[in-house]
Amino acid sequence: ELKVEQNPLFLSMQEGKNYTIYCNYSTTSDRLYWYRQDPGKSLESLFVLLSNGAVKQEGRLMASLDTKARLSTLHITAAVHDLSATYFCAVDSNYQLIWGAGTKLIIKP
């Protein structure tokens, strides 16, 4: 059974700081997704990582994938308040997505 673990589950940080969210998964998969969810809202796709060594960046967010280690990271650079949200990773398994528990990120001014 494929399991996806995110950590930390909760993160409170100051504006301007850097931090990384980790997503580990238990079996082979070559496709990993990062989503953002604002409170009371639906999910917004951030990144799709399709191969080992893939790295994608959008603004202050950068995601990477290491399929050998079964690990993806979402790095936040010089955080700003607008990035406060819950971030989910999800891994493909037989055309379904297996979801991590989510990381609630609060960025304080």
Partner 1 sequence: SAVISQKPSRDICQRGTSLTIQCQVDSQVTMMFWYRQQPGQSLTLIATANQGSEATYESGFVIDKFPISRPNLTFSTLTVSNMSPEDSSIYLCSVRGASGNEKLFFGSGTQLSVL
Binding site for partner 1 (CB under 8 A): 31, 33, 40-43, 45, 48, 88, 90, 92, 95-97, 99-102
- Closest approach of partner 1 to the CB of residue 66, in Å: 20
- Closest approach of partner 1 to the CB of residue 88, in Å: 7
- Closest approach of partner 1 to the CB of residue 60, in Å: 21
**With respect to partner 1, which residue has the nearer C-beta, 57 or 96?**
96
- Closest approach of partner 1 to the CB of residue 78, in Å: 26
**With respect to partner 1, which residue has the nearer C-beta, 40 or 109?**
40
**With respect to partner 1, which residue has the nearer C-beta, 17 or 41?**
41
Q: How far is CA 72 from CA 26, 39, 46, in A?
A: 12, 24, 13
Q: How far is CA 65 from CA 35, 80, 103, in A?
A: 15, 24, 18
DSSP per position, 22-80? EEEESS--S-EEEEEE-TTS-EEEEEEE-STT-EEEETTEEEEEETTTTEEEEEE-S--
